[in-house]
Amino acid sequence: MNRFAELLDRLVLTPSRNGKLTLLTDYFRTVEDPDRGLALAAITGDLNIAAVKPAMLRTLVTERMDPVLFGYSYDYVGDLAETVSLVWPQTPGNIPNREPTLGEVVAKLQAASRSDGPKVLAGLLDSAGISARFAIIKLVTGGLRIGVSARLAKQALADFGAVDVSEIEELWHGLSPPYTTLFAWLEGKAEKPRNTAMALFRPVMLSNPVGDGDLEKLDPADYAAEWKWDGIRVQAVAEGGIRRLYSRTGDDVSGAFPDLADAMHFSATLDGELLVGDPQEATGTFSDLQQRLNRKTVTPKMQQRYPAFMRCYDLLQIGDEDLRALPFRERRGRLESFAGTLDPSRFDLSPFVDFTDWQALEELRRAPPHPIIEGVMLKRWDSAYVAGRPKGPWFKWKRDPHTVDAVLMYAQRGHGKRSSFYSDYTFGVWSGGEGEEELVPVGKAYFGFTDEELKQIDKYVRDNTVERFGPVRSVRADRDNGLVLEVAFEGLNRSTRHKSGVAMRFPRISRLRWDKPANEADRIETLQALLDR
């Protein structure tokens, strides 16, 4: 249990992706079965343990210590799981000579009934030290919140076994904790596990951005062009009565889109974009789509207002026939006839964009006909469907980003290499009438600048600090003083969480405008106009 607890503690404080991968692979290497597999399941959210409510936890602890002292402690720490793990009284003489393993803890928790759950939990807390108690409480209260996605955990498995992550993704949904056969294969001690489960995920084919000079080397006649829809890439798989919608990293998202899943009356694997609206009438914007994202359950009203549909790009399998090795031209032909058999309110075909030369396509890319189009896709007519991001067969050619001139308001210290630099910037634009202008924060960015520019901004922040709050400094920013940043972003969403009412997608610093006076930075109305398009 201690090694798992230590892993959680390290992961939560390690900001860098590579650092997290090292910690995870080291853990997989040094910890034996079934503990490592259970830890993996806990991280990917695949471990099923009956949950304990926070109120129950509080009751358990105040039965064991003075409630006033507990109150002082909780006020100070602010996190219930952490407070309980620290103050839990241990009776000397009742301390076992070894701490329970993760396997033992999970077995006890899974065997507990609803009524004896609290008693089992208290017994486990009695037998564990501080870090292990924290990890146990995190397991039973659900949600580790350690900044590790399922995707990152799968990447760590791939690194550990020196295989491609697509192999892990393809296997994943046929496996279950504690993944002993998976680890045995990754360690070279056994054959690759064979998948016998139905409706499995097929690793997705991705594209590369068009780089400078790329197109000059390519013949337009070799490529088909489609609009690049700014929804969510999904894979719809129906097989043997099982229907699943997967994200492009293989997470099962069927639960969030029951309306679409219900319409999958077929036996096939489709690749496409998940959008909202009616494919026959009008496609919803990204803000509309957002209403359906990151929800555990979705109300009928929500399904009616923002119906989900799939715009099909590709057909990977039909019945028992795997089409992935066929050229795109042939797969597309099969897709076109297959799409005709589908529910037209839930599925449509991604249309081709006609073009003769790159110049003509360039013009279409710059001025797409719909706000949820973010550019064009180029696909070689003869390309097979392969996992990952091979260079050559598929390209994405995105619309130019939006830009806005904003004023630097707050700067926060970075991590790792950047721990001595103020490298995370919150910026704002002007709002309010003449004479009453004030800056309203509209976003935060921490990349897009060069190392040299970082040094310059850092110096500016240190020289113009108005206030300090821990790792954050507020920077002098008014009508006459302030650093103007040109910020590039992909799109804008309405936000109720931000005072400005807008949230930027993928913001980054594109230029430092040392030359521009703060009062000439953009106004909030400029951004609002983008929302209303």
Partner 1 sequence: MRESAVTYNRLPAAELYPILGIMRASDLLHPRPEGLYCPPGDFFIDPVRPVDRALITHGHSDHARSGHRSVLATQQTLDIMGLRYGEDFAGTTQAAQLGETIALNGVSVSFHPAGHVLGSAQISVEHQGTRIVASGDYKRQRDATCAPFEPIQCDVFITEATFGLPVFRHPPDTDEIARLLKSAAQFPERSHLVGAYALGKAQRVMRLLRDAGYDRPLYIHGALAKLSEYYQSQGIDLGTLEPATVEGGDQDFAGAIVVGPPSAFADRWARRFPDPISCFASGWMRIRQRAKQGGVELPLIISDHADWDELTATIKETGAEEIWVTHGREEALVRWCELEGIAARPLHLVGYEDEGD
Footprint on this chain of partner 1 (rule: CB under 8 A): 6, 9-10, 12-15, 19, 22-23, 26, 65-66, 68-70, 72-73, 76-79, 82-83, 86-87, 130, 413, 415-417, 419-421, 470-471
Given the complex with partner 1, which of 334 and 413 has the nearer CB atom?
413
Among the residues of 227-327, which ranges form H helices? Answer: 258-262, 286-290, 300-305
Given the complex with partner 1, which of 145 and 295 has the nearer CB atom?
145
Residue 333: how many other CB atoms lie within 10 Å: 13
Q: What is the nearest approach in angstroms of partner 1 to the Cβ of residue 123?
A: 20
Given the complex with partner 1, which of 26 and 490 has the nearer CB atom?
26
Given the complex with partner 1, which of 26 and 252 has the nearer CB atom?
26
Q: What is the nearest approach in angstroms of partner 1 to the Cβ of residue 16?
A: 8
Residue 80: how many other CB atoms lie within 10 Å: 16
Measure Cα distances from 156 to 10, 23, 27, 153, 205 in Å.
15, 9, 10, 5, 20
Q: What is the nearest approach in angstroms of partner 1 to the Cβ of residue 419?
A: 5
Given the complex with partner 1, which of 64 and 248 has the nearer CB atom?
64
Q: What is the nearest approach in angstroms of partner 1 to the Cβ of residue 355?
A: 46
Given the complex with partner 1, which of 87 and 237 has the nearer CB atom?
87
Q: What is the nearest approach in angstroms of partner 1 to the Cβ of residue 462?
A: 8
Among the residues of 340-432, which ranges form H helices? Answer: 358-366
Which residues face 276 on adjacent strands?
308
| Contacts of residue 370, Cβ cutoff 8 Å, sequence gap at least 6 | 227, 283
> Residue 184 and residue 300: Cα distance in Å, rounded?
45
> Residue 32 and residue 185: Cα distance in Å, rounded?
14
Given the complex with partner 1, which of 29 and 295 has the nearer CB atom?
29
Given the complex with partner 1, which of 22 and 528 has the nearer CB atom?
22
End-to-end CA distance of the chain: 54
Among the residues of 253-408, which ranges form H helices? Answer: 258-262, 286-290, 300-305, 328-339, 358-366
Given the complex with partner 1, which of 68 and 111 has the nearer CB atom?
68
Instruction: Give the residue from 505, 455, 510 showing the smallest Cα distance to 484.
Output: 510
Q: What is the nearest approach in angstroms of partner 1 to the Cβ of residue 453?
A: 15
Structure tokens at 317: 């399998």
Does 300 sit behind a cis peptide bond, omega within 30 degrees of 0 on the bond before it?
no
Instruction: Give the residue from 98, 104, 103, 156 showing the smallest Cα distance to 127.
Output: 98
Given the complex with partner 1, which of 366 and 417 has the nearer CB atom?
417
Q: What is the nearest approach in angstroms of partner 1 to the Cβ of residue 81?
A: 10
| Contacts of residue 474, Cβ cutoff 8 Å, sequence gap at least 6 | 409, 410, 465, 466, 467, 468
| Contacts of residue 247, Cβ cutoff 8 Å, sequence gap at least 6 | 232, 233, 234, 253
Pairing assessment for the beta strands 394-398 and 208-209 based on DSSP bridges: parallel
Given the complex with partner 1, which of 15 and 392 has the nearer CB atom?
15
Q: What is the nearest approach in angstroms of partner 1 to the Cβ of residue 366?
A: 40
| Contacts of residue 383, Cβ cutoff 8 Å, sequence gap at least 6 | 327, 328, 393, 394
Classify 380 as helix, strand or coil.
strand
> Residue 147 and residue 444: Cα distance in Å, rounded?
19
Given the complex with partner 1, which of 6 and 330 has the nearer CB atom?
6
Looking from the CA of 176 toward its CB, the CA atoms found within 13 Å total: 3
Structure tokens at 350: 């991604």
Instruction: Give the residue from 270, 246, 345, 262 showing the smallest Cα distance to 298.
Output: 262
Q: What is the nearest approach in angstroms of partner 1 to the Cβ of residue 68?
A: 6
Q: What is the nearest approach in angstroms of partner 1 to the Cβ of residue 82?
A: 6
Q: What is the nearest approach in angstroms of partner 1 to the Cβ of residue 8?
A: 10
Q: What is the nearest approach in angstroms of partner 1 to the Cβ of residue 142?
A: 18
Q: What is the nearest approach in angstroms of partner 1 to the Cβ of residue 364?
A: 44
Given the complex with partner 1, which of 29 and 366 has the nearer CB atom?
29
